[in-house]
């Protein structure tokens, strides 16, 4: 068989020895990694390539979306009616509690005005769906079907119906990458709803566990305590539920408690999420943060 050197001629690079190729490409790869890690130089390149690869994601998630659409379109009338009834009841209950919320919010604003501190600002929401595409198995990340073209920005908080999900880490124009709060590199400032004790919840890499490594042995934490966002750090608006304390144990000889918490959001079951867009002024009210006592009691 004429296995040809003719075929190889057009590409000069291919004629180089594999060793040389490895050195050249290896150096390029390392330079890329350094640029990607240290600076924002590659944001545009990455976005461009992501847009090119968007069809792959669409293709891969298509069968899963189709099966969802199918299962939606072949549900029976009875089921739909039952679901409809359930949703109506839920909406009724929610709107009833919202009425109280409105009154409380007004009261809150009045009291804040009396105290001369800034009022909590309202927020815009954008509904997004999780794309049926798996990312790096060693990180807790997801792709959502909204991107820069919908006004999504890096650092935007993501929540679902039950609590905080994570934040947007990369914009891909048509889609965006979100890091879940259980990712091993993620930390979120929280406070205990019961006594406003503040701390930081760090991801563990497991979807159902957060850890609070910075609370001293005499801190007032109990199992079942609700952790909400504290608003410090300026990324997450204050007051959203984050997790419930699952287990508190103190190790003899260690200055800090060993605390596990279960995220409030259904991180492995969610399909729809909400992207919060704080109104111009970014969420946290600086005054109360400055007034509040230092972190450790």
- The beta strand positions in the chain, using DSSP E, are 123-129, 141-144, 157-159, 164-171, 176-180, 187-192, 198-203, 210-212, 226-229, 241-250, 257-263, 272-278
In the complex, the smallest distance separating the C-beta of residue 24 from another protein, rounded to whole angstroms, is 9
**Cα radius of gyration (the chain):** 25
Kindly give the pairing relationship between strand 241-250 and strand 257-263.
Answer: antiparallel
In the complex, the smallest distance separating the C-beta of residue 60 from another protein, rounded to whole angstroms, is 5
On whether the CB atoms of residues 273 and 128 are closer than 8 A, the answer is yes
In the complex, the smallest distance separating the C-beta of residue 138 from another protein, rounded to whole angstroms, is 4
- The beta strand positions in 64-175, using DSSP E, are 123-129, 141-144, 157-159, 164-171
- Quick one: 205 or 239, whose CB is closer to another protein? 205
On whether the CB atoms of residues 121 and 239 are closer than 8 A, the answer is no
Binding site for another protein (CB under 8 A): 1-4, 7-8, 11, 13-14, 18-19, 21-22, 25-26, 28-33, 35-37, 42, 45-46, 49-50, 53, 56-57, 59-61, 64, 132-139, 141, 169-170, 177, 183-185, 205, 207, 268
In the complex, the smallest distance separating the C-beta of residue 144 from another protein, rounded to whole angstroms, is 12
On whether the CB atoms of residues 215 and 199 are closer than 8 A, the answer is yes
- Quick one: 44 or 253, whose CB is closer to another protein? 44
- Quick one: 117 or 214, whose CB is closer to another protein? 214
- Quick one: 46 or 112, whose CB is closer to another protein? 46
- Quick one: 166 or 237, whose CB is closer to another protein? 166
In the complex, the smallest distance separating the C-beta of residue 126 from another protein, rounded to whole angstroms, is 20
């Amino acid at each position: 068989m004429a296995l040809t050197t003719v075929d190889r001629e057009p590409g000069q690079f291919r004629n180089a020895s594999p060793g040389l190729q490895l050195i050249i490409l290896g150096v390029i790869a390392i330079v890329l990694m350094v640029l990607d890690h240290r600076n924002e130089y590659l944001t545009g390149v990455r976005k461009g390539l992501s847009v090119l690869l968007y069809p792959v994601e669409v293709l891969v998630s298509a069968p899963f979306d189709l099966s969802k659409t199918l299962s939606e379109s072949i549900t029976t009338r009875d089921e739909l009616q039952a679901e409809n009834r359930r949703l109506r009841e839920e909406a009724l209950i929610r709107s009833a509690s919202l009425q109280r919320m409105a009154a409380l919010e007004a009261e809150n604003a009045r009291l804040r005005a009396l105290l001369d501190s800034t009022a909590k600002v309202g927020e815009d929401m954008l509904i997004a769906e999780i794309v049926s595409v798996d990312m790096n198995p060693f990180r807790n990340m997801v792709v959502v079907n909204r991107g820069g073209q919908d006004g999504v920005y890096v650092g935007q908080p993501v929540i679902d119906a039950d609590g905080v999900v994570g934040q947007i880490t990369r914009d891909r124009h048509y889609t965006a990458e979100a890091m879940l709060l259980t990712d091993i590199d993620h930390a979120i400032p929280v406070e205990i709803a019961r006594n406003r004790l503040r701390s930081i919840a760090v991801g563990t890499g497991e979807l159902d566990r957060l850890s609070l490594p910075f609370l001293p042995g005499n801190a007032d934490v109990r199992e079942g305590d609700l952790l909400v966002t504290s608003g410090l750090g300026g990324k997450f608006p204050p007051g959203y539920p984050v997790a419930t304390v699952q287990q508190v144990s103190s190790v003899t000889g260690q200055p800090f408690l060993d605390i596990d918490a279960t995220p409030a959001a259904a991180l492995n079951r969610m399909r729809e999420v909400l992207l919060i867009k704080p109104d111009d002024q970014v969420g946290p009210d600086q005054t109360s943060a400055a007034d509040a006592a230092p972190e450790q009691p």
